[in-house]
Amino acid sequence: MDPSLSFDQAPPISVPYRFFLAAPWFGVMAGLLLAWSGADALASRWTPGALALTHLIALGFMLQAMCGALLQFIAVAVGANVWRPRLVASTVQPLLLLATLLLVAGLLYGRPDWLSAAVPFFLLAIGGLVVVVALALWRTPATGMTLWAMRMAIGGLAITVLLGALLAEALAHGFAVPLVELTDVHLAWGLGGWALILLAGVSYQVVPMFQLTRPYPPWFARWFAPLLLFFLVAWSLQLFPGDARWSPMIALPLLLILSAYAGITLWLQHTRRRKIHDATSLYFRVAMLSLLAFAVSAAAIFLLPEIAADPRSAIWLGVLALAGVFVSAITGMMYKIVPFLNWLHLQRLGAPLSAVPNMKKMITAEAMTGQLRLHVLALLLLLAAVWLPGLSRLAGVAFAASCAWLGWNLVAAVRRYLDFRDRIRASGSHR
Amino acid sequence: MTTVIDGRELEPPEPMVRTLEALDTLAPDDDLLLLLYCQPQPLFRILSKNGYTWSDELRADGTREIRIRKLPG
């Protein structure tokens, strides 16, 4: 049987890799920025350094990697084919890159004109991506909760970017908007409505598939994303004048929903019959423990005003969410997705199955595990630096080194793909 | 005769590789039962383009029973 037939509509390998290869270097920039700024950057969530660091990770690392994964994943997992994926990727990715650098520089140096200049690039890049992905997701004949999670996530991305654009223009031109409330709603949609719903939707497929667990309980997969969306909409009502005492009534159920996803994922890992302790499983464990820690910490902040009054509390939550949950989960996913894509696309050359190398040869286990250990060390240092500012520079260096190692591992995987591809072509066994 | 491939505890791409190998020797009246915890969209495309039919049933424990057979003619 010719296995290549399955992938004739899947995007070319350059589509996801263009995004994946860029993502870690934004993490390197974030680490170096922290090492350069030192403790000042982490004094509060509103310092120019903290705002720049947040967006280097959220837009540079997370959004780059998630866009690449989305374009690949929806074709393979839910049978949705994006219109001209190579053109979309080669347009969206550089626009996103430019917009991110402009926004980060604008936040860091307090330049309203750069903030304002970034907005049209974001709207063009994300607007284009949202339209083509949404069309593909609505046309696919596939069914299931992963598909619905993808649809909700892409809506969450659109809302996040619109709110972000409004914030950037408000900062640039001094519009009278409730900046604190708008920022809280913007980050809730970005981290919850986009990133976490996408992560959960992908988890429904890849956790059982790659980590050999049982599937997520159907009731959980059915209700997680809709409930999260419901409470995000309720959370957004703070934009309108009202009684602020209601906010814990919205935030606490929201945090309970996040904890359920983390708890169930850890439980699935714990109860699987075949125990594997590869880098992906361990990265997911770190991500889910961070999510639990985030939920407990955020609940404490909502319930105990004396903790909320300390500006470092918000930084603590930011480190847990960005470096703890999303950088960990995304890195773990990339360590499975990249070797798998290498294998898929080498199959596409039409070589016999026996001629295509094993997935485990694409990135060595030692390289992934070593990088994981450095990431965990960097995460612990970042968390410690929130309360011990003297550790900030060291934490920044460790995080930059960990992201650089990830970047190098991904480059090495791409080089192996090219090497095997050339060997198959030279052997004459391809079509 | 039914050939069974239990892919639930196999790491990708092993379930697909074993399925493709089994299909190469599948007799016209036989069928292949693949057990998975996910819907294998790439495999479905291969099957439809190579003259196979399949049914996909979800068990209460989350296992997908994918029964594959060669289309007549």
Contact B41 A76 (CB under 8 A): yes
Count of A-B CB contacts under 8 Å: 71
| Cα–Cα distance measured from residue A368 to residue A400, given in angstroms and rounded to the nearest whole number | 16
Residues 49 through 68 of chain B touching chain A, CB cutoff 8 Å: 49-50, 61-62
Q: Taking the domains of chain B in order of start, what are their residue ranges?
A: 2-70
Of residues B11, B41, B46, nearest to A3 (C-beta): B46
- At A167 the three-state DSSP class reads helix
Q: Which domain holds residue A10?
A: 3-427
> Residue A54 sits in a domain of what CATH number?
1.20.210.10
Report the chain B residue with the minimal C-alpha distance to residue A211.
B11
Of the pLDDT bands very low, low, confident and very high (cuts 50, 70, 90), residue A408 is: very high
Q: Cβ contact (<8 Å) for B46 and A6?
A: yes
Third-level CATH fold of B2-70: Translation Initiation Factor IF3 (3.30.110)
Contact between B9 and A343 using a beta-carbon 8 Å cutoff: no
CB atoms within 10 A of CB A299: 17
At residue A247, the pLDDT reads 81
**Residue A243: predicted pLDDT:** 67
Largest alpha-carbon pair distance within chain A? 72
A357 CB within 8 Å of a chain B CB: no
Residue pLDDT, tens place only, A341-396: 998 888 877 766 667 778 888 999 999 999 999 999 999 999 999 999 999 999 99
State pTM to two decimals.
0.93
Question: Considering only CA atoms, which of A146, A340, A7, B10 is closest in space to residue B34?
Answer: B10
Q: How far is B5 from chain A (nearest CA, A)?
A: 15
Binary contact (A210, B12; C-beta < 8 A): yes
Rounded-to-integer distance, Cα A212 and Cα A260, Å: 20
Q: With pLDDT > 70 as the criterion, what percentage of chain A qualifies?
A: 95
* CB spacing of A77 vs B41 below 8 angstroms: yes
- What φ, ψ does residue B59 adopt, rounded to 5°? -80, 165
Least confident range from A100-104, A193-197, A232-236: namely A232-236
pLDDT in tens, B7-64: 998 988 889 889 988 998 899 889 999 999 888 877 887 888 888 999 999 888 889 9
Task: Report the number of distinct structural domains present in chain A.
Answer: 1
Task: Please indicate whether residue B68 or residue B28 has the higher confidence score (pLDDT).
Answer: B68
Which residue in the block uniquely carries the two structure tokens 């847990």?
A320
Contact A6 B17 (CB under 8 A): no
Nearest chain B alpha carbon to A143: B39
